[in-house]
């Protein structure tokens, strides 16, 4: 592949990989810094922070807002959520986009990799994308080789 084709492919692929983080806000809001005791004292505030259309789960894909919210809460308050028959969203495997664990892993990888640059260089975007995909796949090996980072309507 020529250098020009590689750059073109990179320019197309990177935004798609970053789009996996849909629902995860590019820059963390100041209210995303809940106190260490928020899970014990005000779990409702954590659910509010994580609400679809809110600070963290800004634009989740259609039908995945509740899973994004659950994953956000799971990331922030892991000792306050459990797999129960009452709400199976907490029990779905890590590769299921409709489960909390999937979204928790996306959130954790986004935080681990420092978030995508708002308007950074292509090099920084590629670094973030590589880090993000590798970190999510390390957390959930079932996603390796599945093109999970491409929007579901394009797979």
**pTM score, whole prediction:** 0.75
Q: Which two tokens stand for residue 51?
A: 């609400």
The overall average pLDDT reported for the chain is 80
Q: Tell me how crowded residue 148 is: count the other CB atoms within 10 A of its CB.
A: 20
- Please compute Rg for the chain using Cα positions: 16
The fraction of the chain above a pLDDT of 90, given in percent, is 49
Residues 6+ apart with CB under 8 A from 81: 70, 73, 74, 90, 100
* pLDDT tens digits, 103-116: 999 999 999 999 88
Phi and psi torsions of 9, nearest 5°? -60, -40
């Amino acid at each position: 592949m020529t250098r020009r084709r590689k750059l073109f492919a990179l320019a197309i692929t990177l935004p798609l990989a970053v789009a996996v983080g849909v629902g995860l806000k590019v820059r963390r809001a100041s209210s995303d810094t809940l106190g260490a005791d928020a899970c014990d004292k005000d779990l409702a505030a954590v659910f509010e922070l994580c609400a679809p259309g809110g600070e963290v789960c800004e634009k989740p894909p259609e039908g995945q807002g509740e899973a994004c919210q659950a994953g956000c809460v799971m990331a922030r308050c892991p000792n306050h959520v459990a797999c129960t028959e009452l709400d199976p969203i907490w029990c779905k495997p890590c590769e299921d986009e409709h489960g909390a664990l999937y979204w928790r892993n996306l959130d954790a990888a986004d935080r681990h990799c420092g978030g995508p640059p708002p308007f950074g260089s292509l090099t920084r975007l590629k670094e973030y994308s590589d880090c993000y995909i590798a970190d999510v796949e390390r957390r959930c090996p079932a996603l390796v080789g599945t093109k999970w980072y491409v929007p579901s309507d394009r797979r």
